[in-house]
């Protein structure tokens, strides 16, 4: 449950607008409503606001009408092309002038900086953000929100943002920083999911079901957090100890995955690329280092 928002001294509820009513936008708007905020919503395709309006939200007829209703607008659409399609019209820019826009859509750091430049040119106070947890987490202690941009804007709107539940972290004034975290963390997520999907295909080809493999897959996944903890300092300092598992050994196990996959006609191109990177590290003379030495190789132009 999210916390209830305290009304101001004149008894008025704080106002907030949500633009974009996909699954995440609807979850955000729902959490604002649960907390007692006067919530205005708008979505490109009409009709997505029905349930929220039934719960007390105001459904605006246009994006400019929606942003004019609140001091704070939260934008949550598929990407920044979609955000631009909504924001970069004269009527919307004029309605947003002097107000705050928090962009919780996902995209790249460059797009975040570009949107911040647009906002500055139009007198819009701008924070960029990223949501790192799925929709059911919104309004619960499990939600994770990251922000970047002007600290004073963040502090001013923090009481409203807090009702979304979970943890809220301001990563600094570089407005691209939340998207930098988002892209890096989604990299971890999608490469892990791709590895799991590939593992299930190889296991199935060997007659092992997903249900049979999964408890062991969970065990492998659980090894990763302590390894990340152990090696983060090494990566930052440029030391890559391979004492317990040198990259030559790692490359050998990668080749087993390639061969087993291809013996079943399963595409092993991702693992081939990963093995290739490890073997290049060995060829560069770092065969006694650990696997994460590959981080430096990837950074080379």
Q: Which residues bind ligand NDP (CB under 6 A)?
A: 20-25, 43-45, 48, 76-79, 82, 85-86, 105-106, 131, 134-135
Of residues 106 and 294, the one with the C-beta less far from ligand NDP? 106
Cα 239 to Cα 145: distance, rounded to the nearest angstrom = 31
Minimum CB separation of residue 242 from ligand NDP in Å reads 35
Minimum CB separation of residue 229 from ligand NDP in Å reads 24
Minimum CB separation of residue 26 from ligand NDP in Å reads 7
Q: Which residue is nearest to ligand NDP (CB)?
A: 22
Of residues 5 and 42, the one with the C-beta less far from ligand NDP? 42
Minimum CB separation of residue 81 from ligand NDP in Å reads 6
Minimum CB separation of residue 137 from ligand NDP in Å reads 8
Of residues 11 and 47, the one with the C-beta less far from ligand NDP? 47
Of residues 23 and 159, the one with the C-beta less far from ligand NDP? 23
Of residues 87 and 203, the one with the C-beta less far from ligand NDP? 87
Rounding to the nearest 10 degrees, give the CA dihedral for residues 129, 132, 134, 140: -80
Of residues 134 and 276, the one with the C-beta less far from ligand NDP? 134
Minimum CB separation of residue 56 from ligand NDP in Å reads 20
Minimum CB separation of residue 45 from ligand NDP in Å reads 3
Cα 69 to Cα 265: distance, rounded to the nearest angstrom = 58
Of residues 65 and 156, the one with the C-beta less far from ligand NDP? 65
């Amino acid at each position: 449950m999210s916390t209830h928002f305290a009304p101001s001294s004149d008894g008025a509820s704080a106002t907030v607008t949500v633009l974009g009513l996909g699954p995440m936008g609807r979850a955000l708007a729902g959490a604002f409503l649960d907390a007692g905020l006067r919530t205005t919503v708008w979505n490109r395709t009409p009709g997505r606001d029905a349930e929220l309006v039934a719960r007390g939200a105001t459904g605006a007829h246009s994006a400019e009408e929606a942003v004019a209703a609140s001091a704070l607008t939260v934008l949550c659409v598929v990407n920044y092309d979609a955000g631009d399609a909504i924001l970069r019209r004269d009527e919307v820019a004029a309605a947003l002038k002097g107000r705050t826009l928090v962009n919780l859509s996902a995209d790249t750091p460059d797009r975040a900086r570009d949107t911040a430049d647009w906002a500055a040119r139009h007198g819009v106070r701008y924070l960029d953000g990223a949501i790192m947890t799925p929709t059911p987490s919104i309004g619960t202690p499990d939600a994770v929100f990251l922000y970047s941009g002007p600290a004073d804007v963040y502090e001013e709107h923090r009481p409203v943002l807090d009702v979304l539940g979970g943890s809220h972290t301001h990563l600094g004034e570089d407005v691209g920083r939340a998207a930098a975290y988002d892209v890096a963390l989604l990299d971890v997520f999608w490469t892990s999911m791709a590895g799991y999907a590939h593992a299930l295909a190889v296991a199935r080809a060997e007659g092992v079901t997903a249900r049979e493999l999964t408890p062991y897959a969970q065990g492998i996944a659980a090894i990763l957090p302590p390894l990340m903890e152990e090696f983060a300092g090494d990566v930052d300092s440029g030391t890559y100890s391979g004492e317990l598992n040198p990259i030559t050994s790692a490359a050998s196990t990668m080749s087993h995955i390639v061969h087993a996959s291809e013996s079943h006609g399963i595409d092993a191109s991702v693992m081939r690329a990963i093995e290739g990177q490890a073997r290049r590290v060995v060829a560069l003379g770092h065969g006694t280092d650990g696997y994460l030495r590959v981080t430096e190789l990837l950074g080379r132009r």
